[in-house]
């Protein structure tokens, strides 16, 4: 078995204060290895988005440890974490957070430009990724001219441009028909096998979850392993 890429140890996340506190994550232990696809299911409001944001260092845990390649993340400052996320993590959010005034191509290139790449370096990989999600014909279109499913595939291309080690995806096939959902799943599956990408994906699609290496269910703030 390969070395862990990512480890969460006893992660808790509490919102609010005083008698208005709600404990959404109550002690998450999770190990992700390169090349592994892990599906997370759970009822609405069970904390799946909170889990992805906390594991992805977008929200600080209330307690517990996060390790990436054995190195502690939870002790790093925001500046260092921003660099880490740009280099090593890809995110697909439920609401894409694409920039509406920019084209699909520009949105996909954005993380590379933020990471210091020149436009001339970022263009070809961005075009390749848009082609891989079958959006060759939409590259120059502004995001607000794209359908919900096209926006979701653009967000996937953007999440992959930096060749992340770990992709955290919140319902990445939610707006897609079954053919596009299949395309996205196959693309990710291929990256896992070929490049060792690790994927942690929230999905309500049980058929998709069944094809992943592992399925976990978030119940009452704890991750349970499904058979």
Ligand X SMILES: Nc1ncnc2c1ncn2[C@@H]1O[C@H](COP(=O)(O)OP(=O)(O)OP(=O)(O)O)[C@@H](O)[C@H]1O
Query: Do residues 221 and 24 lie in contact, with contact meaning Cβ atoms separated by under 8 Å?
Result: yes
How much helix, strand and coil, in percent to the nearest 5, is found in the chain? Answer: 40, 25, 35
Residue 81 CA to residue 103 CA, distance in Å, equals: 27
50 binds ligand X (CB under 6 A): yes
H or E element at residue 56: none
CB of 174: closest distance to ligand X in angstroms? Answer: 10
| Separation between Cα atoms, residue 140 and residue 20, nearest integer Å | 47
Bridging pattern class, strands 22-32 and 6-15: antiparallel
Which of 40, 41, 47, 93 forms a contact with ligand X (CB under 6 A)?
47
By beta-carbon proximity to ligand X, the closer residue of 25 and 132 is 25
Q: Which two tokens stand for residue 135?
A: 């959006």
Q: Could you tell me which residues come within 8 angstroms of residue 2 by beta carbon, excluding any fewer than 6 positions away? A: 33, 34, 35
What the block records as the tokens of 227 is 């058979």
Indicate whether 48 belongs to the interface with ligand X (CB under 6 A).
yes
Please enumerate in sequence order all residues whose Cβ is within 8 A of that of 174, keeping only pairs 6 or more positions apart, or say none: 94, 152, 203, 204
Regarding 44 and contact with ligand X (CB under 6 A), the answer is: yes
Q: How far is the CB of 154 from ligand X (least distance, A)?
A: 21
Task: Give the residue with the Cβ less far from ligand X, 48 or 138.
Answer: 48
Stretch of 15-23, 68-76, 117-125, 153-161 lying at the interface with ligand X (CB under 6 A):
15-23
* The one among 45, 70, 77, 116 contacting ligand X by CB under 6 A: 45
Judged by beta carbon, residue 24 or residue 143, the one nearer ligand X is 24
Part in contact with ligand X (CB under 6 A); list of ranges 28-36, 46-54, 78-86, 119-127: 46-54
Cα–Cα distance between 46 and 36 in angstroms, integer?
Answer: 24
Among 11, 24, 162, 216, binds ligand X (CB under 6 A): 24
**Contact status: 39 vs ligand X (CB under 6 A):** no
From 42-50, 97-105, 141-149, 187-195, give the range in contact with ligand X by CB under 6 A. Answer: 42-50
Out of 26, 33, 49, 81, point to the residue binding ligand X (CB under 6 A).
49
Enumerate binding residues for ligand X (CB under 6 A).
Answer: 15-16, 22, 24, 42, 44-50
């Amino acid at each position: 078995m390969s070395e862990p890429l990512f480890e969460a140890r006893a992660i808790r996340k509490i919102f609010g204060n005083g008698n208005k506190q709600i404990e959404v994550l109550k002690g998450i232990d999770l190990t992700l290895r390169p090349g592994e696809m892990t599906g997370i299911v759970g009822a609405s409001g069970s904390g799946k988005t909170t889990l992805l944001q906390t594991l992805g260092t977008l929200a600080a845990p209330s307690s517990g440890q996060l390790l990436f390649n054995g190195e502690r993340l939870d002790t790093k400052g925001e500046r260092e974490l921003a660099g880490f996320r740009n280099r090593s993590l890809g995110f697909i959010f439920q609401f894409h957070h694409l920039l509406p005034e920019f084209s699909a191509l520009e949105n996909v290139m954005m993380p590379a430009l933020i990471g210091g790449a020149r436009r001339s370096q970022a263009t070809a990989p961005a075009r390749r990724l848009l082609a891989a999600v079958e959006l060759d014909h939409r590259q120059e279109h502004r995001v607000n001219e794209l359908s919900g499913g096209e926006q979701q595939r653009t967000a996937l291309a953007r999440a992959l441009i930096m060749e992340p080690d770990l992709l955290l995806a919140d319902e990445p096939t939610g707006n897609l028909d079954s053919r596009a959902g299949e395309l996205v799943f196959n693309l990710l599956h291929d990256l896992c096998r070929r490049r060792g990408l690790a994927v942690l994906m929230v999905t309500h699609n049980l058929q998709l979850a069944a094809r992943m290496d592992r399925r976990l269910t978030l119940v009452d703030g704890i991750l349970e392993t499904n058979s």
